[in-house]
Amino acid sequence: MFLRNINSPYQIIDTAIADIDSVNLKSTFNFINLQTGNYYFSVKTKNSLETWCRSGGINLSVGTNNYDMTSSASQAYGNNMILKGSRYCVYSGNINNDQIIDADDLVIVDNDILNYAGGDVLTNLNGDGIVDIDDMAIVDRNAANLILVEWPGLTPEMRRNYKLKNKMILSNSARRIK
C-alpha cells in the first residue's frame, strides 16, 4: 500500500506491506511516516491494477484507522472495482504493471499457458497453482474493456489517449492474425 500526498503530484509519503486475510479480506498496514491529515492511498498486488481510495482521499490519524474497500465501488477512486459476490474487488490481470489491462497482458498469460507454467507466478491469477484458460478468461474480460488505473491526476484527455493507443495496438494485431 502506498500512502500519498493529497495534492498533485500525489507523492508517495510512505509504503507498507501486509498479507490480506483470505477469509475476511482484512489486513493491518503500518505507516511510520503518518501524521494526522487527509491522504490518498493506493493498493497494488503483484498482478492487479493499482487502485486508489475514494475521490478526495481519507482523513487518517496516528494510530489505528479502518477503511473497507470491499463495501462499495465508491470506496475506490473512479469506482474502479468489480463486484464479485457481495464484495467489491480490485481488477486482476495487469501482469506487466503498466497501469492498463490490455493485449500485452494477454500475451504474457498465453505464453505461460503454452509453457505449462505453474506455482506462484504472476500469471496465475486465480491462485490454483497452474496457468490455464481460467486465468486467461480473467485477463481477457478486463482487456476487452481496457481497464485502466483511475487516479486524481488522470485527465479525460490522458484517458482517451491511453485507450486509443491500446485500441490501435489491438486492431493492428487483429489485422496481422487474419
Tell me the average pLDDT across 105-125: 95
Residue appearing with cell numbers 482521499 = 57
Please state, in angstroms and rounded to a whole number, the distance separating the CA atoms of residues 75 and 72: 6
Q: Is the distance from CB of 113 to CB of 98 less than 8 angstroms?
A: no
**What is the amino acid identity at position 49?**
L
Secondary structure letter of residue 105 according to DSSP: H
What pLDDT, on a 0 to 100 scale, did the predictor assign at position 178?
41
Grade residue 163 by pLDDT with cuts at 50, 70 and 90. Answer: confident
The candidate with the shortest Cα–Cα distance to 43, out of 32, 54, 56, is 54
What pLDDT, on a 0 to 100 scale, did the predictor assign at position 177?
42
Please state, in angstroms and rounded to a whole number, the distance separating the CA atoms of residues 131 and 121: 8
Q: Is 92 helix (H, G, I), strand (E, B) or coil?
A: strand
C-alpha cell at 125: 491469477
Secondary structure letter of residue 138 according to DSSP: H
pLDDT beyond 70 at 39: yes
